[in-house]
Structure 1
Amino acid sequence: MVLMICYACDDYLEILPEGQENSENYFNSESDYQNALVGVYDLLSTTYLSNVLGEIASDNTLCGGGDATDVLDWQQIDDMTHTADNGALRSVFQWMYAGISRANYIIEFKDKTDFSGKDQLLAENLFLRSYYYFELVKFFGDVPMYLDGRISIEESQSIDRTPKAQVYAQLEQDLNSIIDDLPWQQDQNGRVTKGAALALLGKIYLYQDKFPEAVTVLDRVINEGPYDLVSDYSTIFLNSNENNIESVFEVQYSGGQEGASFGCFQCVEGNVAAGFMGVRWLGGNYSPYAYGFSFNVPVQELYDAYEDGDTRREPTIFDVNAFMASRPDVTITEGNEHTGYFNHKYLPYAEAVLPDQNINHSNNYRAIRFSDVLLMAAEAYSRGGLGDGTAQAYLNRVRRRAFGDTNHDITSSGSALTQDIWNERRLELAGEGHRFFDQVRTGQTSSIPGFTGRNVLFPIPRIEIELAGNRWPQNDGY
């Protein structure tokens, strides 16, 4: 069923589906469109890299790994010494454009064949393209924008970088156009819903400081959607509790017999990030967890940021020393920059899939959670001067779940309330890949070691500039 599963292994611009000599022979039936859409969804699995980089680039975690040269691309991003030759950044660039090119393939032939449900299919496709473009803008700012069809090599050498504001305007237009064509709930887990489209649109508004617009769409998710907070925070990220009532948009990872290998990370079906973030177990009974490579290790300062009684700390930060104290037979190998802490939300379990059981796990990525929506809406109300009372209500809804009572409610107002909301985002969403981008968009970067003015954006990969005929200017400082 998965179409074009690994064309990016050779050239991410190559788009023809396997077995099709001519694209004119395709899109003759609903199943053709559905299979092509599966190919667009498939690139969501590569966003595991955004999860990792969004944490190690921030003040939440250190890169870790086996030593200071282990996955050097990640180490450089952690130290803010990365250059335009960083391979991880090129992967983000390539993989997101691979998803965009697959989406554009459907758009190019969207009028070829009619069938019932086509409007919803095209809406899902447009959401996915918007999601991939938003990832690119977060990382790189101005990016080339292709809208009408597949991306040819010739086109890549004749199209300039599109200003970020113009990209955002297109994403706003696209997302607004599809909301009415999407249902609140889908029969298949992971499919795009109305709530996902509204939430992504709200986030895009928030990133541009368009607070009234953000409030309008985020309130719809809160008041009209089928979402709620899971009562017990410690259960949200269990593999047995995927696609729960708090999930607004969730990337599905497979427990099947196919997956990434060290020779083809873009072939991912299992969650690569989980394997990289696990503990380097040495011996003893460490069930239910699996071996990992000790990357993305939380720092002591993050652990200490949680107040006494905050039930989120242990489900967020795995204290391996406390675990070993409870199981004296367990031993570990300490990795680089060992802090004693690991990302508990995506700690690998002993259920890995093939071909490499160290890097393929079925932990779904909770891309947009309902608590994230509440905190985005709270921020928009607070920063937009649209109502401190509503901002407090949304913020305290999250805090009451964390503490189990109303004794820790926030009563601040004005700029102090905004700061309280930002602090809460860190605690609520730690380990989920949002921290660095939150810090950049809010100007809260002074706590990031090595951060300078150039680091508000990552560099456009040098080789991509060269492949585009050296027509794209590089981001400042690179």
Structure 2
Amino acid sequence: MKNTYKWFLFMSLWIFTACDSLLDIDPEFTQDAENFFNTEEDFDRAIIGVYDMMQPAYLNIWIGEIASDNSIAGGESVNDTRGLHEIGSMTHGGVNEELRAVMRVNYTGIARANYIFENQDKLDFDGKELILAEARFLRAYFYFNLVKYFGDMPLIVDRRISINEIASTPRTPKAQVYAQIETDLRSAIAGLPPTVSVTGRLTSGAGKALLGKVLLYQGKYPEAATVLGELIDNNQGGYALFSDYSTLFYANNQNVAEDVFTIQFSGLQGGDYGCLICLNGNAAVGFHGIRLYNGPLYADGNSYNLPTQDLYDSFADGDIRRDATALNLDEFIAAQPNSEDITYAIGGGGHTGFFNNKYIKRLDERGLPDDDLTSPLNYRVIRWADVLLMAAEAFQRTGNDGRARTELNKVRSRVSMPAINSSGDALLQAILEERRFELSGEGYRFFDLVRTGQAASKISGFVTGKHEVFPIPQVEIDLAGGVWSQNPGY
């Protein structure tokens, strides 16, 4: 949903205030609960505040691609967002601004959701159960992000904690965190509708899709097959693959039947580089743009998150997803009638010749100045193609190769690629490869490689037993009085 209540107080332990990542902790329990949650409007504003913390999706797009074999950090120089360059070279450690931002924004979202549950009994009204279902979904989403990145994490449910409790709040084993995620999602699914009238509000289909992904990440393949198979077979949300993959990621093709779970953005409110968290626009899009570009279709940007030659070459001949995913800029320019008049610059942070063509700034999709930061292009957290491929994997891993091929070939048929007829491990590998062809540029690749045990063979510099998770930010360990141990190898 479009988030209009940007003034809503954070009410969290971790307060993410600016891109300098300084921790600014308000006095303990500054907002008196007695002065809030007295009206239905208060609850509605509170849930909007929880939705709002999904907007730093650019972090997932960047890190999920740059940490993998799909892209390099790029940018103006190697000192321009140094943390991304360290992640790209697998030299990241406990001092990393981007990883700290991941931890802080997700815990802020959790704290906002918990604040609602802490006060859920203050008022009864029609629609409260829906708000609680949304809060459970969102809390599950934030915790899922945290365990993917960091493994064991402190589990705090249904309440905020005071500053004085930090040092006595240890990291919770990720199995327990996953159990809470599953509990929240199953409860949310029961309370969410299959369709909504307000674009961007959560649905039961989105809950089932996220639950299926959570189960898949844990290796619970029979359960994942059940959840995802039921979602596909019943399909109360009316989900379907969009017909034209080449334009799927254009702004005028947003909120279509392929969109299962999206984060909504607006180009109508500006911001600045001093606080990317304050934006209503999708910051990734401008950052992915072509540096000092002057030509047709695209607008200039900051040349971040640049696809690799390896990704480009991985696509089969005739697969339209290659060019829809990785823009070959020189080839594109050469095909224009005025190619000699088109110019661009190369950043000092690296250049591959390719740009992320899914989340990139286009001339007719710019928001208000600074239009680097105000793109209206939504982030698709889960789309229907992902659901089909997750289901294909879950079915194959539980011995149902026939159903696995059915779901896999739906995705391939959309882009006129030949059907896969293999079985066994060959079929599984085809499904995993298809995830790269279909979903590259969207922030999934690193986590897919880790969960399927392929990271060490695909990612240069990856150390088994270390890089499956990222380091806990050292400053957060220090703020917790050293009660949190660092992840192995860091």
Normalising by structure 1, what TM-score? 0.95
Q: Say if 2:303 is the partner of 1:303.
A: no
Tell me, what secondary structure is at the counterpart of 1:403?
Answer: coil
Task: State which of 155, 159, 163 in structure 2 corresponds to 1:145.
Answer: 155
Give the conservation status (yes or no) of the 8 Å contact 1:4–1:16.
no
Q: How many residues align?
A: 469
Task: State which of 257, 269, 281 in structure 2 corresponds to 1:270.
Answer: 281
- 1:449-475 C-alpha deviation (Å, 9 max, x unpaired): 111121111000000011111101110
Q: Say if 2:471 is the partner of 1:459.
A: yes
CA RMSD between the two structures: 1.7
- 1:219 maps to what in 2? 229
Structure 1 CA distance, aligned partners of 2:102 and 2:436?
A: 23
Gaps of 5+ in 1: none
Give the conservation status (yes or no) of the 8 Å contact 1:79–1:449.
yes
Give the conservation status (yes or no) of the 8 Å contact 2:405–2:421.
yes
Tell me, what secondary structure is at the counterpart of 2:72?
Answer: strand
Tell me, what secondary structure is at the counterpart of 1:297?
Answer: strand
Structure 2 CA distance, aligned partners of 1:8 and 1:473?
A: 22
- 1:356-398 C-alpha deviation (Å, 9 max, x unpaired): 322331110011000000000110111122x100000000000
For 1:407-418, list aligned pairs within 5 A.
Answer: 408-418=418-428
Task: State which of 280, 292, 314 in structure 1 corresponds to 2:301.
Answer: 292
Tell me, what secondary structure is at the counterpart of 1:62?
Answer: strand
Give the conservation status (yes or no) of the 8 Å contact 1:352–1:359.
no
Tell me, what secondary structure is at the counterpart of 1:456?
Answer: coil
For 1:13-24, list aligned pairs within 5 A.
Answer: 14=26, 22-24=32-34
Gaps of 5+ in 2: none
Structure 2 CA distance, aligned partners of 1:12 and 1:352?
A: 33
Change in Cα spacing, 1:135 to 1:344, as seen in structure 2 (3 Å) is same
- 1:399 maps to what in 2? 412
Percent of pairs with identical residues:
50
Shift in Å, 1:257? 2.2
- 1:89-132 C-alpha deviation (Å, 9 max, x unpaired): 00000010011111111010011101111111100111001000
Q: Say if 2:448 is the partner of 1:448.
A: no
Paired letter, 1:148: D
- 2:481 maps to what in 1? 469
Q: Say if 2:359 is the partner of 1:341.
A: no
Moved over 3 A (4+): 10-17, 350-355
Give the conservation status (yes or no) of the 8 Å contact 1:57–1:80.
yes
- 2:245 maps to what in 1? 233
Task: State which of 397, 403, 409 in structure 2 corresponds to 1:390.
Answer: 403
- 1:128 maps to what in 2? 138
Q: Say if 2:63 is the partner of 1:59.
A: no
Q: Which moved more, 1:195-204 or 1:250-259?
A: 250-259
Change in Cα spacing, 1:278 to 1:15, as seen in structure 2 (3 Å) is farther
Paired letter, 2:64: G
Task: State which of 103, 111, 117 in structure 1 corresponds to 2:121.
Answer: 111
For 1:155-194, list aligned pairs within 5 A.
Answer: 155-194=165-204
Q: Say if 2:385 is the partner of 1:371.
A: yes
Structure 1 CA distance, aligned partners of 2:293 and 2:179?
A: 51
Paired letter, 1:4: F
Task: State which of 375, 380, 402 in structure 1 corresponds to 2:394.
Answer: 380
Give the conservation status (yes or no) of the 8 Å contact 2:136–2:187.
no
Shift in Å, 1:151? 3.2
Shift in Å, 1:12? 7.0
Paired letter, 2:133: A
Task: State which of 415, 436, 446 in structure 1 corresponds to 2:446.
Answer: 436
Shift in Å, 1:159? 0.8
- 1:164-203 C-alpha deviation (Å, 9 max, x unpaired): 1110011111111121211111111111100111011111
Shift in Å, 1:68? 2.2
Shift in Å, 1:263? 1.1
Change in Cα spacing, 1:451 to 1:149, as seen in structure 2 (3 Å) is same
Normalising by structure 2, what TM-score? 0.92
Q: Say if 2:39 is the partner of 1:29.
A: yes
Give the conservation status (yes or no) of the 8 Å contact 2:74–2:305.
yes
Task: State which of 3, 16, 20 in structure 2 corresponds to 1:8.
Answer: 16
Structure 2 CA distance, aligned partners of 1:21 and 1:204?
A: 34
Tell me, what secondary structure is at the counterpart of 2:486?
Answer: coil
